[in-house]
Amino acid sequence: MQRDLASMAAEEPTTRRVLVAEHPRLLKLKEMFNSKFGSTPKFYVRAPGRVNIIGEHIDYCGYSVLPMAVEQDMLIAVEPVKTHTLQLANTNPLYPDFSTSANNIHIDKTKPVWHNYFLCGFKGIQVELAEICAKSERYIGTEGGGMDQSISFLAEEGTAKLIEFSPLRATDVKLPSGAVFVIANSCVEMNKAATSHFNLRVMECRLAAKVLAKHKGLQWDKVLRLEEVQTQLGISLEEMLLVTEDVLHAEPYSREEICKCLGISVEELRTQILSPNTQDELTFKLYQRAKHVYSEAARVLQFKQVCEEAPANAVQLLGELMNQSHRSCRDMYECSCPELDQLVDICRKFGARGSRLTGAGWGGCTVSIVPTDMLPSFLTNVHEAYYRRNSSSLALEKHSLFATKPGGGALVFLEA
């Protein structure tokens, strides 16, 4: 079943009536709101977390990804006011209150403060929500794809989704029975808005796309994504991998070499192609990044096919694809870290059929596919082997290691 955003918005009620008193988290939020602002929220908004099952760092290259929304979520209580002052508060006392004039939103990208993400959303709201949210995130300075925002709006309980871009659309991918997905947080934090790791990868993919396009006689200056090169050449992902091996070299490219390949000046490269926070980079790995993207895009399609065909050894096959994905993220895309690699090894050792980093990487979480009957021993053993070892991870363990199911999408709650 394939549904686009417009039909979803037309058919699905994304507004629900709830009795706040019956939901402890909403009730706590309501009480805190009341004590802070002296009034009652007019509505509440829920947005789920997501886990990407497979397809890492390829959405901004134009390729399909395979995430699901999880049951865990974030709640916001809202009251529209007549003044033009935006007042924000967080239930977590670590994050200070903030207020600003709604007419003059200024996002200070040099400071990774919590309310910046809210301001980005506020600044970005215009037409269609998922695409707007993906665009809004770029105000923070990162050049991400649309995976997180798309799954947040297009998720349906009980199913993961294949998310395709340009135009944005979602197709159900039924996960196999007999296995669960377990999220484990490495407890390493990497703020992708405060460092250039993420954008450097996006730029390396952009440069690889341009160099491949130029070599193949395409209109390279218009090309931004690796997917465009494949589509314009009209060849398969496997053939694109051969082209990559043929055209690009494994040694890092200096910016002078890239300029020579494209026939442009260093100044043009810096100001017309690179993002503000990568303009001073001197070397770029094009071969490794393109190899990851084309192979990962192929794994996403294989993963979907295994889910559809559901052979007896589906869990084994899906696990192997997830393991290959992690290896490619670690070795070719270099977006893992020692703790993630260690956690993935521990998860596999204690029964995961596949385990990989999920999301941007360099920290954050892993996702593992675990046969349902092994879940209790898996959780106990991973707890012992990863979290007990380190007291700071141990403190976070309650929210760091859990099994989850495909959850529903973003909703507005009105008090009944």
Kindly list the catalytic residues. Answer: 148
Which tokens belong to 363? Answer: 């920290």
Considering the rule CB under 6 A, would residue 144 count as an interface residue with ligand GLA? yes
Could you give the angle at which helices 197-215 and 255-262 cross, rounded to 10 degrees? 30
**CA gap 193, 257 in Å, rounded:** 28
Give, in order, the Cα–Cα distances in Å from 270 to each of 213, 256, 267, 274: 19, 11, 5, 5
Nearer to ligand GLA by Cβ, of 48 and 359: the residue is 359
Identify the three-state secondary structure at position 193. coil
CA 250 to each of CA 253, 257, 266, 307, 326: distance values in angstroms, whole numbers, following the listed order? 9, 13, 22, 34, 20
Binding piece for ligand GLA, criterion CB under 6 A, among 54-62, 164-172, 176-184, 256-264: 54-62
Give the tokens for residue 134.
């993906």
Is residue 93 within a helix (H) or strand (E), and if so which, with residue range?
A: none
Q: Which is nearer to ligand GLA, 26 or 58 (CB)?
A: 58
Helix runs in 269-369, H state only:
286-309, 314-331, 338-349
Q: Which one of 26, 30, 48, 57 is in contact with ligand GLA (CB under 6 A)?
A: 57
The alpha carbons of the chain give a radius of gyration, in whole angstroms, of 22
Q: Select the span of 55-63, 80-88, 167-175, 401-409 touching ligand GLA (CB under 6 A).
A: 55-63
Among 129, 147, 193, 382, binds ligand GLA (CB under 6 A): 147
What token pair was written down for 57?
């760092």
Cβ proximity to ligand GLA: between 200 and 262 the closer is 200
The Cα-based distances of 75 to 20, 94, 394, 413 in angstroms read 12, 17, 25, 10
Per CB under 6 A, the list member of 29, 56, 337, 351 interacting with ligand GLA is: 56
Single-letter amino acid code for the residue at 413: F
Candidate segments 32-40, 139-147, 238-246, 312-320, binder of ligand GLA by CB under 6 A: 139-147
List the x/- string, 227-256, binding to ligand GLA by CB under 6 A: ------------------------------
Closest C-alpha among 284, 415, 303 to residue 356: 303
**Residue nearest ligand GLA, Cβ-based:** 144
- The stretch among 4-12, 52-60, 248-256, 311-319 that binds ligand GLA (CB under 6 A) is 52-60
Nearer to ligand GLA, 59 or 397 (CB): 59
The Cα–Cα gap between 169 and 161 comes to 9
Angle at 20 between CA 19 and CA 24, to 5 degrees: 125
Number of residues that bind ligand GLA (CB under 6 A): 11
Residue 181 structure tokens: 């997905």
Query: What does the alpha-carbon distance between residue 133 and residue 149 come to, in Å, rounded to a whole number?
Result: 6
Residues 351-370 that bind ligand GLA (CB under 6 A): 359-360
DSSP 175: P
C-beta separation of 335 from 365 below 8 A:
no
- Return the residue of 20, 33, 47, 52 that touches ligand GLA, per CB under 6 A: 52
* Among 73, 131, 148, 204, contact with ligand GLA (rule: CB under 6 A): 148
Q: Which is nearer to ligand GLA, 41 or 144 (CB)?
A: 144
Q: Does 41 bind ligand GLA (CB under 6 A)?
A: no
Among 145, 354, 363, 407, binds ligand GLA (CB under 6 A): 145
Stretch that binds ligand GLA, among 26-34, 49-57, 215-223, 378-386 (CB under 6 A): 49-57
The interface with ligand GLA within residues 58-77 (CB under 6 A) comprises 59-60
Under the binding rule (CB under 6 A), the answer on residue 179 touching ligand GLA is no
Phi and psi angles of residue 152, each rounded to the nearest 5 degrees, phi first? -60, -40
Binding segment for ligand GLA among 17-25, 51-59, 375-383, 388-396 (CB under 6 A)? 51-59
Going by their DSSP bridges, the two strands 401-404 and 365-371 should be labelled as unpaired
Closest to ligand GLA by CB, 52 vs 230, is 52
Tell the smallest beta-carbon distance from residue 52 to ligand GLA (Å): 6
Residues that bind ligand GLA in the complex, under the rule CB under 6 A: 52, 56-57, 59-60, 144-145, 147-148, 359-360
